[in-house]
Chains A and B, each alone.
Chain A
Amino acid sequence: MNRLFRPYLTFLLMGSILTFSACKDDDEPGPEDEQEVITAVTISLTPTGKGQDTEATISTLTGTPVQNAPLTLRPGTEYTAVVTMTDESKNPVADMTAEIRNERDEHLLVYTFTPDAGSNATVSVNITDMDQNNRPVGLESTVTTGAGIGNGKLKVVLKHQPGGLKTGTNTTAGETDVDVSFNVIVTN
């Protein structure tokens, strides 16, 4: 009798391991919190002479990038430009600029202005901040408009160039963290 009973007992025992371990189901997924996401890029321009400050933000919190207002510049003017980056998904909104500044020897902002068809606008950007190795960073710059007027796009690309990839002149190396294009209007 005992010999017959023993194997069944073993089966039973194994079954009970299953039932007791299969009943933890009270976990809830929390909000997704990926560290250091840049969701918005702001460029603020202050004329070196007299004139109006101007600022524009591109945000992707809703999915596709949206620019809050066009960047309106005057022709033939020099501006001091500052770029800030934030994570608007955090409450309060997190400033990501400081992180980039901390690792400025691995980062480079690349600016490219492309006038729209038929536009005479020209915009040039000169990076003024340097990293520890005296290579440009691009969070601060001087933006100068030419005499022509019209519309165009100012593309701002943030490159992450770790592990000695940064040379200061190589604008394709590394991983792209930010790639946005601001609508620019150069008008009197």
Chain B
Amino acid sequence: MAMAQEQVHLDGDDPEQDCGLTLSGKVLDHDTREPLIGATIYIEELQRGTLSDEYGNYHFHHLCRASYTLKVTYIGYEEEHQSFRLSTSTVRNLSLHIDARQLKQVVITGGRLQEQAQATETLQGRELEETRGLSLGESLKKLTGVSSVQTGPTVSKPVIHGLFGNRVVIMNNGVRHESQQWGNEHAPEIDPLNAQQMRVIKGAAGVRYGSDAIGGIVLVEPNPLPDSAGIRGEVSLIGSTNNRMGTVAGMAEGKLRQLPLSWRLHTSVKKAGSAQAPRYNLNNTGFEEQNLAATLGYKRQRFGAELYYSFFHTKLGFLSSAHIGNLTDLANAIGREQPEETGSFTYTIARPYQDVTHHLLKAKAFYQTGEAGELQFTYGLQQNVRQEYDRHRNTGDRPQLDLDLQTHTTELVWEHKPFANISGSMGVSTIWQNNTYAANTRALLPYFINTTIGAFAEERWRKENLQLEAGIRYDNKSLDIKRWNRTEGVLRPSYTFHNFSGSFGALYDLGYHVTLGANVGYASRAPHAYELFANGLHNSAASFERGNPELVSENAVNTMATINYHSNLRLNGELSLYYNTINNYIYLQLAPDYALGIGGAYLQADYLQADARFWGADLSFDYALTSRLTLNNKTSLVYAKNRETDSYLPFITPGRTDNTLRYSFEDKTSSRLSDSYLALGGLYVGRQSRSDAQSDPVLAAPDAYFLLHAEAGTQLQFGKQQVELGIVGSNLLNTSYRDYQNRLRYFADEMGRMIMFRIKVPL
């Protein structure tokens, strides 16, 4: 009460106004406490401003007793507003925070503005460039919490928090990538060279792209089309030692002057020979890949449309010695010091190999619905043809497995403009897909037609430091199987699944340096046709895989908490903890009894369901030792357990930590070089100690390993022509090791030392 009176008194027209007051102080950098010279200090009420002097000092004289608002601005720092009452002459120091937008080049953990409560990681810029030449799965391993399931050196599938395959939804340029992702030896058919950034949303995130995203989402995004007229291009050459891989990639893009029409063409061709383990050649592990992508965009203020087509083709060889007949062969292979066929380096790809073609046609349009928001429609047509050529007698040139999957996806989304601090989107989506196999090939996967219709809504409320978000989704999936049976002819079992997905998250900005995020996500995944009806021999595991037609949907409740410490001069980082409860988790378990066939004994692997639990932590941080030298750490831990039997689950990512020391050279105006850096780091992957004879009956988990890696890069200026150069060395000590999540760990060591060179020339 007294306060209020005083306020009125002071702010009112007081005849006894004291107008001889002084306000002074220093403008400082919040972190270093160094004075900032030449900062602007502005009193909004008086429209009076001044600059800080060479010691960072500022002063205002002849101020009256009143409430003032100071606006302090300085280039490279965030604008600061301070309101206070001046009643006597005061010394007031003003500290400014470095603008993270200016820092983005330096801060590796990403932007300071966290957009959603759920933990995300983005691979872009320099880090993405360092992965050029690697496959999608290998590239994503750069991100904390992401690892990969491998089959030899050529096949790599992303694993998020221990989950992979059908539990990770991959969005390729805005379309759900639909291929035979149930197979652990089926890598995503996407050209990472066409991506400008790859974003990973970790944990159950079913609301936006489909309720089956129990493990998370990978978003592969190409550059947006150019919005200024003219034509430009880019040529990249990548080469490596070890498998002597060579890659040529070219891009041309432009925008017409007369019409709002832009276009882009991207192509890349890769070829690699057999990879080399430190002590021997990995026979028949060469691969080749051809990619083409074309985009045409039309954009007006209110309306726009985009047509995109991409073609992916790969032929990749499999380690020949991993193709085995029965358990005796497996035992022999495990007992061998090295694979029995090592051969010598060659680019030739022999059986066994895979030949995969993927076409994607996308049509997208948006329409601004007045002031209310934007309507987006996306249609995707995909065809995935997977041919696998086994190594048997007298096979001719026919493949043994020849699957053809056609998928049509549509999505209609309405994104509404913020009103009352709420923004969000809602929409419907459909998937229609048809799987067939060529006549006279193996019926590993039956014919099926999958029709999924989903609807979702997600909203976000933001006020001051707090953001709340919630989303809900429903998917109705019907699966019509056509299966041929020797005695009964064609059987037509059919299924309907109802899958819900939901999320609730909160993001709280604790001021300049700390953001807290928490998220609870629910996702539900219907079993895949393979999990229901698999029926066939997997030669590389000497196991006969059998589906289980009784499977039901698996449901995950994933709780995650993230603390982000950002925009600091020295230490920046993020820590997230998660706890994921999956009921009816579907997994492939090797059975204790053998299946006998004419070829002897095989392992039997059955699809089972159990309640499981996944938990773990991701940590990433940067510590600037000096302004040029930075230490970067990425650590992730995953634990998993079968809650019903209290036993370990197979194939879970072992803990890993990667530490890199990076030195950035100063840009000298006299020098032709800029953005030069040098980095040296080590990756340590622990032994999966949470494995036993039950989870891994064939062979115990391999030992821990440590790999040394180094990177360097620079930009060269030749007159007007700029050239980007980079070099990446992995496994520099040529360490012989085996990885728990490589399915070929029974047979051979991993790749040895590899040095990869790249050169990029913008035209």
Instruction: Spell out A's residues near B (CB within 8 Å).
Output: 6-8, 10-11, 14-15, 17-18, 21-22, 24-25, 27-36, 38-41, 58, 60, 64-65, 89, 99-100, 102-103, 106, 157, 160, 162-163, 165, 172-180
B484→A31 contact, CB < 8 A: yes
Is B449 a contact partner of A29 (Cβ separation < 8 A)? Answer: no
Q: Can you list 22 residue pairs at the A/B interface with Cβ under 8 Å?
A: A6-B303, A10-B365, A18-B410, A25-B449, A28-B447, A29-B482, A30-B440, A30-B484, A32-B442, A33-B440, A35-B394, A35-B395, A35-B400, A38-B598, A41-B598, A60-B596, A99-B394, A172-B328, A174-B329, A175-B325, A175-B329, A179-B598
Contacts of A64 in B (CB 8 A): 596
Q: Looking at the assembled complex, report how far the CB atom of A6 sits from the nearest CB atom of chain B, in whole angstroms.
A: 7
Of the candidates A8, A60, A100, A162, the one whose C-beta lies within 8 Å of that of B391 is A162
Closest to B366 in A: A7
B437 at interface by CB-CB < 8 Å: yes
Is B597 a contact partner of A60 (Cβ separation < 8 A)? yes
Residue of A100, A102, A103, A163 near B320 (CB, 8 A) is A163
Given A22-B432, A39-B598: A179 in contact with B325 (beta carbons within 8 A): yes
Measured between beta carbons, the chain A residues less than 8 angstroms from B410 are 14-15, 18
Question: Which A residues are in CB contact (< 8 Å) with B517?
Answer: none
Which residues of A lie under 8 Å from residue B377 when comparing CB positions?
A: 11, 14
Partner of A34, one of B341, B363, B381, B442: B442
**Residues of A close to B379: CB separation below 8 A:** 14, 17-18
Instruction: Out of A100, A163, A172, name the residue touching B341 (CB < 8 Å).
Output: A163
What is the CA–CA distance of A65 and B398 in the complex, to the nearest angstrom?
28
Query: Does B443 reach chain A (CB closer than 8 Å)?
Result: yes
Q: Which residue of A lies closest to B326 (CB)?
A: A176
Q: A28-B490, A60-B598, A103-B394 are in contact. Are A175 and B484 (CB under 8 A)?
A: no
**Complex Cα spacing A53 to B393, Å:** 31
Nearest CB to that of A99 among chain B residues?
A: B394
What CA separation (Å) do A7 and B370 show in the bound complex?
A: 13
Instruction: Tell me if A65 and B324 are in contact (CB < 8 A).
Output: no
Question: Which residue from chain B places its CB closest to the CB of A15 in the assembled complex?
Answer: B410
Contacts known (A36-B392, A103-B393); A21 close to B490, Cβ less than 8 A: no
Contacting residues, chain B, for A100 (C-beta < 8 A): 393
Q: Is B367 a contact partner of A180 (Cβ separation < 8 A)? A: no
CA distance A28 to B328 in the complex (A): 38
List the B side residues contacting A102 at CB < 8 Å: 394
Interface string of B435-460 (1 = CB under 8 A from A): 01101111100110100000000000
Q: Which residues of B contact A173 (CB under 8 A)?
A: 340
Complex: how many Å from CA A164 to CA B305? 58
Q: Which of A8, A34, A162 has the most CB of B within 10 A?
A: A34
Interface size (B, Cβ < 8 Å)?
54
Instruction: Compute how far the CA of A26 lies from the CA of B430 in the bound complex, rounded to whole angstroms.
Output: 21
Which chain A residues border B553 with CB–CB below 8 Å? none
B546 at the interface (CB under 8 A from A): no
Task: State which of A21, A29, A178 has its C-beta within 8 Å of the C-beta of B381.
Answer: A21
Docked pose: A36 CA to B598 CA in angstroms: 13
Instruction: List chain B residues, Cβ under 8 A from A15.
Output: 410
CA distance A44 to B302 in the complex (A): 83
B347 vs chain A, min Cβ distance (A): 17
Q: How far is the CA of A41 from the CA of B490 in the complex (A)?
A: 30
A60–B117 Cα distance when bound, in Å, is 57
Across-interface contacts of A106 in B (CB, < 8 A): 393
* Residues B484 and A29 in contact, CB atoms below 8 Å apart: yes
Identity of the chain A residue whose Cβ is nearest the Cβ of B320 in the assembled complex: A163
Contacts A29-B446, A176-B325 given; does A7 touch B598 at CB 8 Å? no
Q: Is the CB of A176 within 8 A of B599?
A: yes
* In contact, B329 and A176 (Cβ under 8 angstroms): yes
B393 touches A99 (CB 8 A): yes
Q: Hey, which chain A residues are within 8 Å of B490, CB to CB? A: 28-29
Are A7 and B329 within 8 A (Cβ)? no
Give complex CA distance A49, B310 in Å: 73
What CA separation (Å) do A157 and B325 show in the bound complex? 11
Which A residues are CB-close (under 8 A) to B343? Answer: 163
- B303 partner, pick from A7, A38, A157, A175, beta carbons under 8 A: A7
Q: Does B680 contact A (CB under 8 A)?
A: no
CA distance A31 to B442 in the complex (A): 10
Contact status B600-A176, CB under 8 Å: yes
Contacting residue for A165 out of B340, B446, B597, B601, CB 8 A: B340
Closest chain A residue, CB of each to CB of B343: A163
Instruction: Please judge, given known A-B contacts A10-B305, A25-B434, A29-B447, whether A157 and B598 are in contact too, CB under 8 Å.
Output: no
Assembled-state Cα–Cα distance A65/B434 (Å)? 36
B408 within 8 A of partner (CB)? yes
- Which of A28, A39, A176 has the most chain B CB within a 10 Å cutoff? A176
Residues of chain A contacted by B359 (CB below 8 angstroms): none
Inter-chain contact B440/A179, CB cutoff 8 Å:
no
Contacts of B365 in A (CB 8 A): 7, 10-11, 14
Question: How many whole Å from A42's CB to the nearest CB in chain B?
Answer: 12
Q: A14-B365, A21-B408, A30-B484 are in contact. Are A176 and B449 (CB under 8 A)?
A: no
Partner of A177 from the list B303, B408, B440, B599 (CB cut-off 8 Å) is B599
B280 CB to nearest A CB, Å: 15
Contact A58 B434 (CB under 8 A): no
Residues of B near A162 (CB, < 8 A) are 391
B323 at the interface (CB under 8 A from A): yes
**Interfacial chain B residues near A35, Cβ < 8 Å:** 392, 394-396, 398, 400, 440
In the complex, whether B486 has a CB less than 8 A from a CB of chain A is yes
Across the interface, name the chain A residue whose C-beta is closest to B335.
A172
Q: Which residues of B contact A89 (CB under 8 A)?
A: 486
> Is there an interface contact between B400 and A176, defined as CB atoms closer than 8 Å?
no
Q: Check B598–A175 contact: CB distance below 8 A.
A: no
B332 at the interface (CB under 8 A from A): yes
Known: A176-B326, A177-B325, A179-B601. A32 touches B305 (CB 8 A): no
What is the CA–CA distance of A178 and B377 in the complex, to the nearest angstrom? 56
Assuming the contacts A10-B365, A29-B483, asked whether A58 and B598 have C-beta atoms less than 8 A apart, the reply is: yes
Question: Chain B's nearest CB lies how many Å from the CB of A89?
Answer: 8
Contact of A33 among B303, B439, B449, B597 (CB under 8 A): B439
Closest residue of chain B to A163 (Cβ to Cβ) is B341
Interfacial chain B residues near A65, Cβ < 8 Å: 596-598
Complex Cα–Cα for A14 and B446 (A): 30
List residues of chain A with CB within 8 A of the CB of B443: 29, 32
> Which residues in A have their C-beta under 8 angstroms from that of B398?
35
Cβ of B139 to closest chain A Cβ, rounded Å: 32
Instruction: Check A36/B393 contact, CB under 8 A, given A176-B600, A177-B599.
Output: yes
Query: A27 CA to B667 CA in the complex, in Å?
Result: 64
Give the residue among B324, B392, B430, B447 with the most A Cβ atoms within 10 A: B392
Chain A residues contacting B484 (CB-CB under 8 Å) are 29-32
Q: Which residues of B contact A18 (CB under 8 A)?
A: 379, 408, 410, 430, 432
A28 neighbours in B (Cβ, 8 Å): 447, 482, 490
Known: A21-B381, A65-B596, A178-B600. 20 other contacts (CB 8 A): A6-B303, A11-B367, A14-B365, A15-B410, A18-B379, A22-B432, A30-B439, A33-B441, A35-B392, A35-B394, A35-B398, A36-B394, A60-B597, A106-B393, A157-B600, A172-B328, A175-B391, A176-B326, A176-B329, A178-B599
